[in-house]
Chain A
Amino acid sequence: MQEQYDVIVIGAGVVGSAIARELSRYRLRIAVLEKNLDVCNETSGRNSAVVHGGFANPVGSLKARFCVSGNKMMDKLAAELDFPFKRCGKVLVGNTPADMEQLQRTMEQGAINGMDGLELVDEARLHELVPAVVGKFAMWSKNSGIMDPFLYTIALAENAHANGVSYFFDHEVTGIHRETDVYVLQTGKGDFRTRWVVNAAGLGCKRISDMLGITGYRVVGSRSNYIILHKRMGRLLPMPVYPVPNNVYMGIHVTPTVDGNVTVGPDAENTDKLDDYTVPQKNIEELAASGTVLWPHIHKKDQIRTFAGIQPKLVDENGTVQDYKIEIRDDIAPQAVNLVGIESPGLTASVPIAQYVVELMREREAFAENPAFNPCRKGIVRFADCTPAEQARLIASDQDYGELVCGCEGVTKAELLAAIHNPLGVVTMTGIKYRTRAMMGGCQGGFCQMKIEQMIEQELGCRPQEVCYSRKGSWVLTGNMRGEA
């Protein structure tokens, strides 16, 4: 148990996973401690899933810098890591002269931030881009895009794991102290010793920062609700449609997902409850009403589910949102990288953030390169996305590809087996759902969840009552109905 690590990353969100992967380029013993049972369980997975263009962030900010560079490297990352990413562009839609002024300011800011592909378009062009949109003109950002944040984070983490990083789920850090040159991280499952520690705890950033002795930050939760619409609606929306933004808030937008659904959101309100994902009725209705102003195809009958996300925002004493804080406080907590207030555009910016973290570390210590580092990782082949010829080949190679388990999303037994035996050892129902899309379709698992639960039991040799839905304690069944419990 007393194995000592070179680096421990706290948090397996998108940023923690990106940091783990960047660190795995070096010969280091690395571990990631995550309190949840899977990666991407909090802020990283609960957002609009948009690859941003960096035009909405203040000039000179880390947010702008990392967002622009993250956007530019996304094709390469997607090729290396095999996750869904579409550079579909997006439009910011306006109607009034004031909107036009704001869009022009946004364009200028984007240009200074280093983003290209920004263009003002008139109503006719706007309607060519997005047929049903409501607006007089728009700023079109050709290089914005959409991605799958779960599969992206899973890809980063699996690649980090393949390059030697150890993952520990259900390991919440409850205390940190320093013994000579080593940090001791306490968890409910024993202590972890490490020379370096990285605070990538997302919503828990202030708590970990305080444990490191770096106190005084004000972090507020900004809570957002979303509606997800049925896949048939995605065909009507080729790219995200936003209202005119300001530097603080992007506004309620409608966004296609890489899988063809549409999300409507986010509203934003501050909260102290950082783990409350309740979606209130009032907000669902207001979202639909606001979204309809931009895009008229939001109907209750097409809503398949709702979700909420919370972003950690670093604020000053007036409540004004601050830039990312990424620091090593040699005076207070040497060999600890402290990341505070990593919020949007964190998904886009994740790898540049990680590279910056590693730079800060390498300024203080020389890391030897890991000659075995392999940047590439293959995801689970999606039967539903294959051509009939490919599908026939897949079935010929493995009969389990011929057995459809989730009919709505076309997910086969082979894909589910691969997900159950995922490299990170995640065994929750939602873990399998995010890795395969099973249970995400029209019936929301009504027909297939029993089969998937059964497969988990059989493959992992566990009892029915041990199968978890998502978080620890989220048991699915009480046990057998007949025979042994």
Chain B
Amino acid sequence: MERKEVVIIGGGPAGLAAAVELHKQGVRDMVILEREDRLGGILRQCIHDGFGLGRFGESLSGPEYAQAFIDEVQARGIPYETGAAVLELTCDRKVTAATRSGLRQYEAKAVVLAMGCKERSRGSLGIPGERPSGVFTAGSAQAYMNLYNRMPGREVVILGSGDIGMIMARRLTLEGAHVQAVFELLPHPSGLPRNIVQCLDDYDIPLYLSHTVTEIHGRTRLTGVTVAEVDVDRRPIPGTEQEYTCDTLILSVGLIPENQLLEGAGIVIDPRTNGAAVDEALQTSVPGIFSAGNVLHVHDLVDFVSLEAETLARSVAAYVAGTPPVPCNLAVEAGRGVGHTVPQRVSGTADFTLSLRVTGHYRDCRLVVRQDGREVVSKRMKKAIPAEMVQLAVKAGNLRRIGALEVSVE
């Protein structure tokens, strides 16, 4: 058992940014544990550009964005171990990881959860039909193409208009596959508007809203899918079924925080985010365990992941320095039009950034935070859509010490 001030689980954008900021805050006794054989996380396979406009002022590819942080981690001499898969995390912050050179056991003062997220799979959607080969999540198709130099198929249908799905529509097209269409169950796209333009419209790939795949065909390789229009309750409308002949179905139907380790430590999970419920210091229900990035809640942009991880790092630095914790007893609740909020509870004595997603498409709306009905802060927005994460700065000066907060769209 080796003692560490901080153990960071995950060497993707969140873990890297947290490590660099911790180092800036004076923390030295830390280690990043990364399960893959190199740092960078999922950015390694996101070879498209559009990353880092907020942070670096230029449009970088995923690997370049990651490399900027990796370079900084290396320049600062921050210890990290790749090929280290965490097997267990306990509530008293013991971390066990498997590596090729043996088991590593750490006892940490603070643990940073930065494991990112995973994709929803076909199974969790329960799409009826056969189980042929040729059904991929967008991320696994992306990994096959961008990391492993493999082509997943030729005739493609995409279910779900998440950003990775749209990016893969373009990627597959550029590599010679034929993408027939993207179908989205919801009446609005799940991904960013710019991706509809530059990934679908540019390549004449139609996007059909309020449609879903109702059956998968093929006993060996996929031979086709049945697609139907859905009603307001998302139920397929009989008579609208259409058959599409294809050998590949790409699913881009949502991301879920990688929360497997959380359960072992008894960390309270917010069923709305599927990540840990945290306070304004991004501390989970278990003292000394903190969480940021996509393992906490799914972000739309990596720039926000990095920022959140840096916020986390500052509170972790304070925690390991022995700053007494501030009780966070004010609940933050998602009101009308809001799907979830992070953090889920606050002290009322410190400024914090509230991250949230709206549940529908809104124009000329106002996001309002109220405490016991009293308006605390608000933000005017020309438009608010579920694809975009919204952030609001909340000043402690506007808050009272008691009374739950509620965020809603007006």
A469 in contact with B132 (CB, 8 Å): yes
Take A391-B103, A472-B220, A475-B221 as given contacts and tell me if A284 and B128 are in contact as well, using a CB distance cutoff of 8 Å. Answer: yes
Segment at the A interface, from B93-101, B352-360, B381-389: B93-101
A442 in contact with B129 (CB, 8 Å): no
CB of A479 closer than 8 Å to a CB of B: yes
A474 in contact with B101 (CB, 8 Å): no
Closest CB in chain B relative to A139 CB, distance in Å: 32
CB of A305 closer than 8 Å to a CB of B: yes
A481 in contact with B175 (CB, 8 Å): yes
A392 in contact with B103 (CB, 8 Å): yes
5 nearest A-B residue pairs (beta carbon): A305-B123, A469-B133, A473-B220, A404-B85, A444-B121
Take A404-B98, A447-B118 as given contacts and tell me if A300 and B126 are in contact as well, using a CB distance cutoff of 8 Å. Answer: yes
Chain A contact residues, majority secondary structure: mixed
The chain A residue with its CB closest to the CB of B214 is A281
Binding site for A on B (CB under 8 A): 35, 83, 85, 87, 96, 98-103, 105, 118-119, 121-124, 126, 128-134, 137, 139-140, 143-145, 147-154, 175, 214-215, 219-221, 256, 260, 263
Q: Tell me the bound Cα distance from A449 to B100 in angstroms.
A: 20
Q: Tell me the bound Cα distance from A415 to B87 in angstroms.
A: 16
B101 in contact with A399 (CB, 8 Å): yes
Take A228-B123, A388-B103, A473-B220 as given contacts and tell me if A481 and B149 are in contact as well, using a CB distance cutoff of 8 Å. Answer: yes
Q: Which residues of A contact B221 (CB under 8 A)?
A: 469, 473-475
Take A279-B128, A395-B98 as given contacts and tell me if A480 and B118 are in contact as well, using a CB distance cutoff of 8 Å. Answer: no
Q: Which residues of A contact B87 (CB under 8 A)?
A: 384, 391, 404, 410
CB of A471 closer than 8 Å to a CB of B: yes
Closest CB in chain B relative to A185 CB, distance in Å: 24
B151 in contact with A480 (CB, 8 Å): yes
Closest CB in chain B relative to A115 CB, distance in Å: 36
Closest CB in chain B relative to A90 CB, distance in Å: 25
CB of A375 closer than 8 Å to a CB of B: no
Q: Which residues of B contact A391 (CB under 8 A)?
A: 87, 98, 103
CB of A304 closer than 8 Å to a CB of B: yes
Question: Which residues between 317 and 366 of chain A lie within 8 Å of chain B, taking CB atoms?
Answer: none
Q: Tell me the bound Cα distance from A477 to B132 in angstroms.
A: 13
| Chain A: number of interface residues, binned into ranges | 35 or more
CB of A135 closer than 8 Å to a CB of B: no
CB of A468 closer than 8 Å to a CB of B: yes
Take A305-B122, A306-B126, A482-B149 as given contacts and tell me if A450 and B143 are in contact as well, using a CB distance cutoff of 8 Å. Answer: yes
A450 in contact with B102 (CB, 8 Å): no
B35 in contact with A404 (CB, 8 Å): yes
Q: Which residues of A contact B96 (CB under 8 A)?
A: 388
Q: Tell me the bound Cα distance from A328 to B129 in angstroms.
A: 39
A382-414 to B contact mask, C-beta < 8 Å, 1/0: 011000100110011001111110011010100
Q: Which residues of B contact A468 (CB under 8 A)?
A: 133
A443 in contact with B98 (CB, 8 Å): no
B140 in contact with A446 (CB, 8 Å): yes
Take A306-B123, A391-B98 as given contacts and tell me if A278 and B215 are in contact as well, using a CB distance cutoff of 8 Å. Answer: yes
Q: Tell me the bound Cα distance from A479 to B152 in angstroms.
A: 8
The chain B residue with its CB closest to the CB of A410 is B87
Q: Which residues of A contact B119 (CB under 8 A)?
A: 443, 446
A479 in contact with B263 (CB, 8 Å): no
CB of A460 closer than 8 Å to a CB of B: no
CB of A464 closer than 8 Å to a CB of B: yes
Q: Which residues of A contact B140 (CB under 8 A)?
A: 445-447, 449-450
CB of A119 closer than 8 Å to a CB of B: no
A481 in contact with B102 (CB, 8 Å): no
A446 in contact with B137 (CB, 8 Å): yes
